[in-house]
Amino acid sequence: KDIVLACPMNMCPQDKPNKTPQEIWEDFSLSFTPAVREVVEFAKHIPGFSALSENDQVTLLKAGTFEVLTVRFASLFNVKEQTVTFISGATYSLEALKGMGMGGLLDTMFEFSEKLNSLELTAEELGLFTAVVLVSADRSGIENINSVELLQESLIRALRALVSKSNPCDVSRFTKLLLKMPDLRTLNNMHSEKLLSFRID
Amino acid sequence: FSDPASNLGLEDIIRKALMGNLEERPE
Residue pairs between chains A and B whose CB atoms are closer than 8 Å: 48
Question: B5 CB near a chain A CB, below 8 Å?
Answer: yes
Instruction: With CB atoms and an 8 Å threshold, state whether B7 touches A196.
Output: yes
d(CA B13, CA A67): 17
Q: What is the band of A2 on the pLDDT scale with cuts at 50, 70, 90? A: low
Q: Residue A151: what pLDDT?
A: 98
Q: Residue A28: what pLDDT?
A: 80
Structure ipTM:
0.83
Q: What is the band of B23 on the pLDDT scale with cuts at 50, 70, 90? A: very low
d(CA B14, CA A94): 31
B26, HSE (Cβ side, Cα atoms, 13 Å): 11
d(CA B4, CA A189): 10
Question: If you measure CA to CA, which chain B residue comes closest to A197?
Answer: B4
Q: What is the band of B27 on the pLDDT scale with cuts at 50, 70, 90? A: very low
Q: Quick check: A119 and A173 in contact, CB under 8 A?
A: yes
The pLDDT tens digits of the residues spanning A52-76 come to: 999 999 999 999 999 999 999 898 9
Q: Quick check: A84 and A106 in contact, CB under 8 A?
A: yes
Average pLDDT, chain A: 89
Question: If you measure CA to CA, which chain A residue comes closest to B19?
Answer: A54
